[in-house]
Structure 1
């Protein structure tokens, strides 16, 4: 049987500083059956010039340039729909693939049945200068993963918490075809993809560091809840979808845990409209306890308690 083709969809938007390292890491893969598609989402720096130079040197690279800035969900969909690989990697061109990344994940899929749609792994975190920051998974002195990294039916777990490192995922093409790609109405893709895909497909954790994920100073999680951030409204939409997908009491409880987390964070950052939406979903789930009824009242009258969150972050991050 011929080795399966793997499509690496390289998404670029103003990644001039990191683009060469990223593309070199794709070209350096030990797995030979690759389809490389670079989608530039209307960069305003020298990214296009760099991509064209690589394409001239490496004719196997396919280049798609969007006419206007589409955003990640639309740009990625344009890329994967132009691809033909049996497996697909969504690769941001500020990250780096380790040389055996594709080979390891293809080998993992070869040992799994068709019920598994996603293979994910550990990752190294790096800064803007490609210096080591840490790892996604926590390990003990013997090197065994001790953080949460399960395999199997993960729908309930993915509703409740964040634990999959997005750039480490390899996905069966059939999953994207089944889901019709990313939801283009959303400002980001990860949570929605996890919820929709894990309802129907299993996930497998590959115990290996396969990817170097770049963490920018402006991409720290506390910036997520800045008032007006469209990412929050997208999270509301995904939670609305999730409510329609839950089947069991345990799944409803997992969704309730997610809604409580989001309601707290949106309220304490002054995102009152979104906090109201999360609290209404929590009411529909049947988990509006006295504490969250109080939060609902405080949110209704927009009682500003953001100072408490600022004090927490000052303590937590020594800022």
Structure 2
């Protein structure tokens, strides 16, 4: 196909403040054979008016309004399911795309099931920084690399595009998965291979409403800091359990990753009452360059130890700092 259709699956919810910037950046893409499928999840601001205004000028913009709020993961599932393209790209309502994003994706996806890029951080006013979302603190990964998504993720939903043949494997998106993008990345790198572009092709908008007190580390007291870190550890473990249980349902996984998942689950389900799991430590150490490929090489053993610790060990380490 010389000029395949690319569908852009977008979800909106009270996004009127930044939506025009995002729609303009998609409309200005150098690659022109596109459709934009927008599923709105019950906006009460001017989001619907903006979309209707744009759809009058650009007939390839299609609006679907949910009767009930689905939440962002299931809303993306709906938007994806309504796409007709040979390729499907995901779009958040408040980012901005570089003009050649889709062109670069089409040129570089080749035989891979999915392609993605890093993103450049900008603030709520649209001021663009020189910081990327993943690099330089982490790595992007490619190939048949599903082990890299067991505990972490570098494939942000707003930066990816995949081939329509992936739909039969990713839909429906499991109810218990933490985020749709880690599910899509894991599945794509299990059934085939993924790749990325060296150039970051999305401007990712980070604004005050997204920044939590935890990220800013505004602890009220030592006890507050302790409880916040404890709760964060417990939540991370719950998310990891939920993800791995879903990942296990894929029937083409090799024996290596199956073993890692089984040992990980045994440790994580007893996390609150354990200190250290030596069996998990040994297997993570053996496969550290695959499991923690997203982390910098000199940091991987740190994460091997961190995952192998139980909550009691994390508590002890806090008081020995």
Mapped to 1, the partners of 2:16 and 2:153 lie a distance apart of: 29
Does the residue aligned with 1:37 lie in a helix, a strand or coil? strand
Preserved contact between residue 126 and residue 213 of structure 1 (Cα < 8 Å): yes
Mapped to 1, the partners of 2:208 and 2:115 lie a distance apart of: 28
- How far residue 170 of structure 1 moved from its aligned partner, in angstroms, is 0.6
- How far residue 225 of structure 1 moved from its aligned partner, in angstroms, is 8.0
Does the residue aligned with 1:192 lie in a helix, a strand or coil? helix
User: Match of 1:121?
Assistant: 117
- How far residue 195 of structure 1 moved from its aligned partner, in angstroms, is 2.3
Q: RMSD between aligned alpha carbons?
A: 4.0
- How far residue 3 of structure 1 moved from its aligned partner, in angstroms, is 0.9
Mapped to 1, the partners of 2:266 and 2:211 lie a distance apart of: 21
User: Match of 1:287?
Assistant: 280
- How far residue 103 of structure 1 moved from its aligned partner, in angstroms, is 0.7
Mapped to 2, the partners of 1:177 and 1:55 lie a distance apart of: 29
Preserved contact between residue 157 and residue 254 of structure 1 (Cα < 8 Å): no
**Residue 160 to residue 291, structure 1, CA distance change in 2 (3 Å):** closer
Preserved contact between residue 117 and residue 171 of structure 1 (Cα < 8 Å): yes
- How far residue 66 of structure 1 moved from its aligned partner, in angstroms, is 0.6
Mapped to 2, the partners of 1:23 and 1:172 lie a distance apart of: 22
User: Match of 1:83?
Assistant: 83
After superposition, what is the alpha-carbon deviation per residue over 1:178-224, rounded to whole angstroms, capped at 9, x for unaligned? 32242244453122222233211211121112111112334348469
Preserved contact between residue 160 and residue 254 of structure 1 (Cα < 8 Å): no
Mapped to 1, the partners of 2:147 and 2:167 lie a distance apart of: 20
Does the residue aligned with 2:50 lie in a helix, a strand or coil? helix
**Residue 253 to residue 233, structure 1, CA distance change in 2 (3 Å):** closer
Preserved contact between residue 12 and residue 38 of structure 1 (Cα < 8 Å): yes
- How far residue 79 of structure 1 moved from its aligned partner, in angstroms, is 1.5
Mapped to 2, the partners of 1:226 and 1:43 lie a distance apart of: 35
- How far residue 254 of structure 1 moved from its aligned partner, in angstroms, is 8.2
- How far residue 33 of structure 1 moved from its aligned partner, in angstroms, is 0.5
After superposition, what is the alpha-carbon deviation per residue over 1:133-171, rounded to whole angstroms, capped at 9, x for unaligned? 3113546xxxxxx95223211112222433333321111
- How far residue 63 of structure 1 moved from its aligned partner, in angstroms, is 0.5
The reply to whether residue 164 of structure 1 matches residue 155 of structure 2 is yes
User: Match of 2:223?
Assistant: none
The reply to whether residue 15 of structure 1 matches residue 15 of structure 2 is yes
User: Match of 2:244?
Assistant: 239
User: Match of 1:143?
Assistant: none
* TM-score for both structures, normalised by structure 1: 0.73
User: Match of 2:139?
Assistant: 148
Of the three residues 195, 198, 201, the one matched with 1:207 is: 198
Does the residue aligned with 2:118 lie in a helix, a strand or coil? strand
After superposition, what is the alpha-carbon deviation per residue over 1:104-156, rounded to whole angstroms, capped at 9, x for unaligned? 101112xx22xx211111221111111123113546xxxxxx95223211112
Mapped to 2, the partners of 1:149 and 1:44 lie a distance apart of: 37
Task: Provide runs of 4+ in structure 1 moved above 6 Å.
Answer: 223-226, 228-232, 254-260, 288-294
- How far residue 7 of structure 1 moved from its aligned partner, in angstroms, is 0.2
Mapped to 2, the partners of 1:75 and 1:96 lie a distance apart of: 20
Does the residue aligned with 1:208 lie in a helix, a strand or coil? coil
**Residue 215 to residue 225, structure 1, CA distance change in 2 (3 Å):** farther
Preserved contact between residue 161 and residue 258 of structure 1 (Cα < 8 Å): no
User: Match of 1:65?
Assistant: 65
User: Match of 1:268?
Assistant: none
Preserved contact between residue 13 and residue 40 of structure 1 (Cα < 8 Å): yes
- How far residue 291 of structure 1 moved from its aligned partner, in angstroms, is 9.4
User: Match of 1:196?
Assistant: 187
Does the residue aligned with 1:4 lie in a helix, a strand or coil? coil
